[in-house]
């Protein structure tokens, strides 16, 4: 069998892809039809036995994707093909009540909301697993000294656990965003051709509420023929933001794995794994690079998502074809990325010795700030202290010597700071500020969110 899309043979986990398979979509649509029939029956507009029959045949056991496709060749309307396939499976008079009072997108949008609900649940679980992994790593590396870098240059000391704590804070915000977006993204409708519910008559409001309560969805309170596509725009923007965060973490792994840094690296199976077809020594950050590439694909779906929000009058069909691509691809890729980044950090190799060597290679320059702050404690003005340390740093760089040695012979510090005071303040381990507590706080935040220890 030949395939076209990489999701068919290379990317994506089966659980997420299954939500968007043709058969699953068909089942979700039949679930909406069955719920509509039950709502009618509860209000006495159709016989209960007929609603029960519609519910019974609303299954892939009776209505197959193959049969729907066969009918669609004639109807050239996929939803109506499903309705006819359901109708022909019904016993007695039940078939005449299938799709009663509904328009196509009552069923399509409600089914899509069910897909989104299931997919967001998977993303939520992914985030929780990833948060647990990050919390364990942050706790383990709480006090592991590392150089903080700004503009890709040495800055001041941090701990590796502190770096991971920043990722935790970001992912906790994503977790909060997901909880907030769930009711807005998981909205269906059962309000007819232009949203007025006219075909459902006096029972319109009751039927719509009963259907959505039955399916565990919210509903569009003032629909057109479709639910507002601002909901999908918000959803895809959220998923793209998660993907971008993952790309940020993956980029950091790639940078730390550079030969000249070698502070952290993806796990590598030396017994079997091949890094390069020609450079046999290579150990490449392939998973992190993969995640970076997939994030760019996810963000590429933002433009058609925004454009699909703009529909003519009470709705046109320009959004439909685009959304068939957008939702399955974005959800499948973000799920894949979360899974892969969790694996990277769960098995990350942290080179603590190299981190110390890199700190030592700075020749004390990364401790310029604490020296300056100590000088201000001793009565030197902040600006004067800055200039003294700046001049000393430039001398150290020019002469390739330790900043400590330059400061020890600095005449402007005579009688201000002793040699011991200068040495003590230049200990990197003593200048990580609140990093350890920040790690502790972020680990506790994860434990509170997950309601368990990590």
Q: Read off the pLDDT of residues 104-117 as tens digits, 9 standing for 90 and up.
A: 999 999 999 999 99
What is the tens place of the pLDDT at every residue in 43-65? 999 999 999 999 999 999 999 99
Q: Name 122's bridge partners.
A: none
CB 286 within 8 A of CB 266: yes
Average pLDDT of the residues in 317-339: 97
**Is residue 278 pLDDT above 60, yes or no?**
no
Q: Picking from 141-150, 260-269, 354-363, which range would have the lowest pLDDT averaged per residue?
A: 260-269
Residue 275 pLDDT: 63
Residue 283 pLDDT: 76
Burial class of 317 by CB neighbour count within 10 A (0 to 12, 13 to 18, 19+): exposed
Average pLDDT of the residues in 385-405: 96
What is the tens place of the pLDDT at every residue in 118-154? 999 999 999 999 999 999 999 999 999 999 999 999 9
**Is residue 276 pLDDT above 80, yes or no?**
no
CB 138 within 8 A of CB 164: yes
Residue 420 pLDDT: 95
Residue 2 pLDDT: 87
Confidence of residue 304 (pLDDT cuts 50, 70, 90): very high
Domains and CATH numbers, the chain: 20-97 (1.10.275.10), 104-357 (1.20.200.10), 365-425 (1.10.40.30)
Residue 271 pLDDT: 55
**Quick count: other Cβ atoms within 10 Å of Cβ 155?**
14
CA 172 to chain centre: 11
Residue 1 pLDDT: 79
Active-site residue, 151 included: yes
Between 268 and 393, name the one with better pLDDT: 393
What is the tens place of the pLDDT at every residue in 68-103? 999 999 999 999 999 999 999 999 999 999 999 999
What the block records as the tokens of 29 is 């649509």
| Nearby residues of 409 by Cβ (< 8 Å), 6 or more positions away | none
**Residue from 40, 99, 151, 329 carrying the catalytic annotation:** 151
Decide the pairing of beta strands 349-350 and 187-188. Answer: unpaired
Instruction: Find where tokens 């890729």 sit.
Output: 333
What is the tens place of the pLDDT at every residue in 159-185? 999 999 999 999 999 999 999 999 999
**Residue from 124, 191, 276, 329 carrying the catalytic annotation:** 276
Average pLDDT of the residues in 436-444: 98
Query: Could you give the CA distance from residue 146 to residue 199 in angstroms, rounded to a whole number?
Result: 67
Residue 272 pLDDT: 66
* Three-state SS letters, the chain: CCCCCHHHHCCCCHHHHHHCCHHHHHHHHHHHHHHHHHHHHHCCCCCHHHHHHHHHHCCCCCCCHHHHHHHHHHHCCHHHHHHHHHHHHCCCCHHHHCCCCCCHHHHHHHHHHHHHHHHHHHHHHHHHHHHHHHHHHHHHCCCCEEEEEECCEEEEEEEHHHHHHHHHHHHHHHHHHHHHHHHHHCEECCCCCCCCCHHHHHHHHHHHHHHHHHHCCEECCCCCCCCCCHHHHHHHHHHHHHHHHHHHHHHHHHHHCCCCCCCEECCCCCCCCCCCCCCCCCCCCHHHHHHHHHHHHHHHCHHHHHHCCCCCCCCCCHHHHHHHHHHHHHHHHHHHHHHHHHHHHHCCEECHHHHHHHHHHCCCHHHHHHHHHHHHHCCCCHHHHHHHHHHHHHHHHHHCCCHHHHHHCCHHHCCCCCHHHHHHHCCHHHCCCCHHHHHHHHHHHHHHHHCCCC
């Amino acid at each position: 069998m030949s395939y076209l899309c990489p999701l068919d043979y290379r990317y994506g986990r089966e659980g997420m892809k299954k939500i968007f398979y043709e058969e699953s979509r068909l089942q979700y649509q039949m679930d909406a039809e069955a719920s509509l029939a039950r709502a009618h029956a509860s209000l006495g507009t159709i016989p209960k036995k007929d609603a029960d029959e519609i519910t019974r045949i609303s299954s892939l056991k009776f209505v197959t994707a193959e049969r729907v496709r066969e009918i669609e060749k004639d109807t050239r309307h996929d939803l109506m093909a499903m309705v006819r396939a359901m109708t022909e499976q019904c016993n007695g008079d039940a078939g005449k009540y299938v799709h009663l009072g509904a328009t196509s997108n009552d069923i399509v949008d409600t089914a899509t909301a069910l897909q989104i609900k299931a997919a967001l649940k998977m993303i939520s679980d992914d985030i929780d697993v990833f948060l647990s992994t990050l919390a364990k790593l942050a706790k383990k590396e709480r006090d592991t000294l590392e150089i903080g870098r700004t503009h890709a240059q040495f800055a001041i000391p941090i701990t590796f656990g502190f770096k991971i704590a920043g990722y935790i804070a970001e992912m906790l915000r994503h977790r909060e965003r997901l909880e907030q977006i769930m009711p807005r993204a998981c909205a269906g409708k059962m309000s007819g051709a232009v949203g007025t519910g006219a075909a459902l008559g006096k029972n319109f409001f009751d039927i719509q509420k009963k259907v959505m309560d039955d399916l565990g969805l919210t509903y569009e309170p003032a629909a057109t023929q479709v639910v507002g596509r601002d909901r999908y725009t918000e959803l895809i923007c959220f998923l793209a933001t998660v993907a971008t965060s993952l790309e940020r973490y993956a980029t950091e792994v790639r940078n730390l794995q550079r030969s000249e840094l070698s502070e952290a690296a993806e796990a590598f199976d030396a017994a079997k794994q091949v890094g390069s077809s020609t450079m046999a020594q290579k150990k490449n950050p392939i998973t992190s690079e993969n995640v970076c590439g997939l994030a760019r694909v996810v963000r590429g779906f933002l433009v058609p998502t925004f454009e699909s929000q703009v529909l003519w009058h009470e709705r046109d069909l320009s959004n439909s074809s685009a959304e068939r691509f957008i939702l399955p691809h974005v959800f499948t890729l973000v799920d894949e990325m979360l899974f892969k980044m969790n694996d990277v950090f769960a098995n990350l190799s942290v080179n603590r010795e190299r981190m110390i060597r890199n700190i030592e290679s700075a020749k004390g320059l990364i401790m310029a700030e604490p020296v300056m702050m100590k000088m201000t404690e001793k009565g030197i003005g902040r600006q004067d202290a800055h200039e003294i340390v700046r001049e000393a740093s430039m001398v150290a760089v020019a002469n390739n010597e330790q900043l400590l040695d330059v400061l020890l012979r600095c005449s402007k510090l005579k009688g201000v700071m002793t040699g011991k005071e200068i040495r003590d303040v230049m200990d990197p381990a003593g200048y990580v500020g609140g990093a350890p507590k920040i790690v502790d706080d972020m680990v506790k935040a994860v434990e509170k969110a997950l309601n368990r220890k990590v």
